[in-house]
């Protein structure tokens, strides 16, 4: 059923065959579709997970430098991390902030006696794309006396030996220890 037919279905049946009403219904249906699209886009801007053109506003409000050359996903990660990074610092808070940057599994361990925190990337191979942003966010919220180590995951020799030629040829060097970046 077309948009015009939907719109006409709300009117009395004697309008259904009137050419002018069909034209009006078609024009209004198109405009209502545009309005719906714009309202959905506006609603998306209220949440950093779906925002696009409003990311600059979030960055300004959170005192994050606006860098339009960064990919939208990385900008979102910084915003979400900054929003999550308030309150008492704990392992779960640090994990929550780190998870905003990385979609894979992350493990955070705190060694209070050694004044050390370790953030271990379990699923991501190589260096995550916005590790520098994560480091800045963690540095901003962690206690000054704590050091942070980032444990990255690379392909092991056993994993590489079990790969087919096509899998190996499709693997970039940055996924191998000492292979890139």
Contact (Cβ atoms closer than 8 angstroms) between residue 55 and residue 76? yes
Q: Which of 133, 129, 131, 127 lies closest to 67 in space, CA to CA?
A: 133
Decide if domain 89-173 falls under CATH 2.60.40.
no
Domain boundary assignment for the chain: 1-84, 89-173
80: left (phi over 0), alpha (psi -120 to 50) or beta: alpha
How many other CB atoms are there within 10 angstroms of residue 75's CB atom? Answer: 24
pTM, two decimals, is 0.53
Indicate the length of the chain as a whole number. 181
Cα–Cα distance, 11 to 16 (Å, whole number): 8
Contact (Cβ atoms closer than 8 angstroms) between residue 176 and residue 163? no
Return per-residue pLDDT of the chain as tens, 181 residues: 777 778 788 888 888 888 888 888 888 888 888 998 999 999 999 999 999 999 999 999 888 899 999 999 889 988 988 887 666 778 888 888 888 877 778 899 988 889 899 999 888 888 887 888 889 888 888 888 889 999 988 887 888 888 888 888 888 777 777 655 4
| HSE value, Cβ hemisphere, 13 Å, CA-based, for 64 | 26
């Amino acid at each position: 059923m077309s948009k015009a037919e939907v719109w006409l279905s709300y009117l009395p049946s004697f309008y259904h065959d009137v050419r002018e009403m069909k034209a009006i219904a078609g024009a209004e249906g198109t405009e209502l579709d545009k309005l719906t699209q714009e309202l959905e886009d506006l609603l998306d801007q209220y949440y950093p997970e779906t925002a696009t053109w409003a990311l600059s506003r979030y960055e300004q409000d959170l005192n994050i430098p606006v860098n339009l050359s960064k990919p939208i996903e990385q900008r979102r990660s910084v915003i979400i991390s900054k929003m999550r990074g308030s309150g008492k610092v704990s392992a779960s808070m640090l994990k929550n902030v780190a998870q905003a940057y990385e979609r894979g599994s992350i493990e955070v361990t705190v060694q209070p006696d050694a004044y050390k925190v370790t953030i271990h990337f379990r699923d991501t191979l190589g260096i995550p794309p916005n590790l520098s942003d994560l480091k800045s966010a963690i540095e901003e919220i962690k206690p000054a006396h704590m050091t942070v180590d980032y444990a990255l995951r690379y392909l092991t020799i056993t994993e590489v030996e079990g790969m087919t030629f096509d899998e190996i040829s499709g693997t970039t060097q940055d996924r191998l220890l000492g292979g890139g970046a």
